[in-house]
Amino acid sequence: MDISFLCTVKSPWKIRTARREDCPSIFELICELAEFERAADEVVITEEQLAEDTFGKRPILEVLVLEKDSEILAAAMIYEKYSTWKGRAVHLEDLIVKEAHRGNGYGAALFEAVMDIAKERNYSRMDWQVLDWNKPAIDFYKKYGAHFLDEWVDCRFTTEEIKKR
């Protein structure tokens, strides 16, 4: 996918669609995020599964990466979803910036790139979640005027619970 329309300002970094060979760097970002979210032991996917889910026969994940000097410093992981009332929408699963590179505008650039994709594809909405203790992320999203949906409760079955059925 050509996302050159997203980068209208000249910058020292580049946002682009991920390629299969980026999977090791993306996987490292995933592991760093899990560590930050106090859930490092919950990462069960592998680089191979990430590659299959992103570039395989039935891709379900789209990844944008931000690179500077050929190093991937941040990534945004999105997928299409459907609202029975509103139609096609996009879900931002994760927005990850390497800890050593936070505060440089990389997260904002990627977040705005995802918003641009949502607009360009005419999605009805853009959804994401943020942990209630992650004040820096909450404050970041508030700057954009995000709506925080207190009336919705997340629900989940784990792999084990699914297998019990």
User: In the CATH scheme, what is the code of domain 4-130?
Assistant: 3.40.630.30
In the structure, what pLDDT confidence band is assigned to residue 2 with cuts at 50, 70 and 90? very low
Active site residues: 141
Mean pLDDT of the chain: 93
Q: Region 128-155: what's the mean pLDDT?
A: 94
- The pair of three-digit structure tokens given for residue 28, joined into one six-digit string: 């490292």
Element (H, E) at 48: helix 47-55
- The answer to whether the CB of 107 falls within 8 A of the CB of 115 is no
Q: What is the pLDDT of residue 10?
A: 67
What count of Cα atoms within 13 Å lies in the side-chain half-sphere of residue 41?
0
Which DSSP letter does residue 40 get?
G
Q: Considering the entire predicted model, what is its pTM?
A: 0.90
E strands present in the chain: 14-17, 62-68, 71-83, 87-97, 126-128
Q: What is the pLDDT of residue 4?
A: 47
The pLDDT tens digits for 4-50 are 445 555 688 999 999 999 999 999 999 999 999 999 999 999 999 99
Q: What is the pLDDT of residue 6?
A: 52
d(CA 23, CA 61): 12
CA angle 138, 29, 53 (to 5 degrees): 105
pLDDT of 3 above 70: no
Q: Region 90-109: what's the mean pLDDT?
A: 97
